[in-house]
Amino acid sequence: MHTVITKDPAEAASFIKRGGSVVFPTETVYGIGACAEDHSACQALYQIKGRPQDNPLIIHLAESSAIFEHAYVPKKYEDFIQHFSPGAITYILKKKNQQLFSTGLPSIGLRVPTANFTRNFLHAAALPVAAPSANLSGKPSITKSYYAKLEFSGRVDCILTGPDAEIGLESTIIDLTCEPAVILRPGGIALTDIQKFIPGASLLATPVGTTPKSPGLKYKHYAPHCKVSLVAELPEAKDKKIGRIGFHFTGSSSIDRKLQSNIQYMKELYSFFLDCDSLGIEEAFCEMPIRDKWFDSLMNRLRKAASLD
Ligand code: TXA
Ligand code: MG
């Protein structure tokens, strides 16, 4: 497949309007989008990613007001949604617009990205855009245009290149169809900030052996090819080619990603993993994040990458 690479949001949007697939940047991670009302265009995204068919897609909208057009919003959550949108948060709500692709579910995940660049693209498309994260299924998500081009040239109709993802981890997903509301995936909005509005909201704990509430939770995620180890202290390179990301370093290794904060950890983690694979690293060591409000989101991705969950 020939892939058009462009910096022009309107050119990329024209592919969405014609039923095509477009890799595009957001402030969380890159997505691969298609018109959410065109079910065959949405189906094609599953082939491109190698994504399991039962895992629904997040639908991206240009304006917060559109959330209320496409889904039923319980009155008590109206202020909450107005406060956090646009933002790195996806709301699971009861579907109102029956045209939207939702793998047969009565609910839908809706998100309004913050990045102006992304919103220009969504405005130009003038359609709801269904988009999973831009990664081959199970692999780390993409946060930089370099990797978007490397992984998706020849696989999609168009790649919109733009700024690096400002946040670097996927959106927080909150299910507002159940009582109390539950966080299905911690991400770019911290749980403690959500609890200021919804005190009863908590992180979903999926006991071993039960069916996950969010289909995506049961699949392996975010891992590079090499072994990933989550450690209290970063080791020094001995006889292996290793990569390290964290706060405290002694000696040097093939990739050393030195961090000052968890915010920076979120922004760097996926590109660190992709760099490890590009350089043929055998083991990637990740230092435990700092215990601040971003701890849960980082630990969720790190534990999955290290196959601890
Ligand atoms: O930041 C993000 O959320 C990125 C960017 C591109 O917006 N997107 C993203 O999409 O991470 P994806 O497909 O990698 O993750 C979407 C998750 C999956 O775990 C899926 O199961 C869940 O959202 N999801 C979508 N619709 C759902 C629904 N109706 N009910 C429960 N979970 C849903
Ligand atoms: Mg994903």
Please give the pLDDT value at position 217: 62
In ligand 1, the atom with minimum distance to the C-alpha of 132 is 13
Best residue among 24, 143, 160, 173 to mutate for probing ligand 1, ranked by most atoms within 8 Å of CB: 173
How far is it, in rounded angstroms, from Cα 157 to Cα 307? 33
233-259 pLDDT, tens digit each: 999 988 789 999 999 999 999 999 999
Give 304's Cβ-side CA count (13 Å radius).
22
Cα dihedral 31/34/37/42 (nearest 10): -90
Q: How far is CA 167 from the centre of its chain?
A: 10
Q: Is the Cα dihedral 195, 198, 203, 205 positive or negative?
A: positive
Q: Output the DSSP codes for 60-123.
A: E-SSTHHHHHHEE--GGGHHHHHHH-SSSEEEEEEE--TTS--TT-SEEEEE----HHHHHHHH
Q: Is the CB of 55 under 6 A from ligand 1?
A: yes
Residue nearest to atom 30 of ligand 1 (CA): 214
CB contact set of 301 (below 8 Å; sequence gap of 6+): 169, 221, 222, 269
Q: State which residues of the chain have pLDDT below 50.
A: none
Radius of gyration of the chain, Cα coordinates, nearest whole angstrom = 19
Is residue 37 within 8 Å of 192, Cβ to Cβ?
no
Q: Is the CB of 168 under 6 A from ligand 1?
A: no
How far is it, in rounded angstroms, from Cα 147 to Cα 161? 10
Please give the pLDDT value at position 205: 80
Is residue 28 within 8 Å of 140, Cβ to Cβ?
no
Tally of CB atoms within 10 A around 252: 10
Q: Is the CB of 304 under 6 A from ligand 1?
A: no
Global pTM reads 0.95
How far is it, in rounded angstroms, from Cα 291 to Cα 214? 26
Please give the pLDDT value at position 138: 80
In ligand 1, the atom with minimum distance to the C-alpha of 58 is 25
How far is it, in rounded angstroms, from Cα 9 to Cα 122? 8
Please give the pLDDT value at position 239: 79
Best residue among 133, 135, 221, 266 to mutate for probing ligand 1, ranked by most atoms within 8 Å of CB: 133
Q: 92 C-alpha to center of ligand 1: Å?
A: 9
Please give the pLDDT value at position 220: 57
Q: 31 C-alpha to center of ligand 1: Å?
A: 10
Place of tokens 């507002």: 176
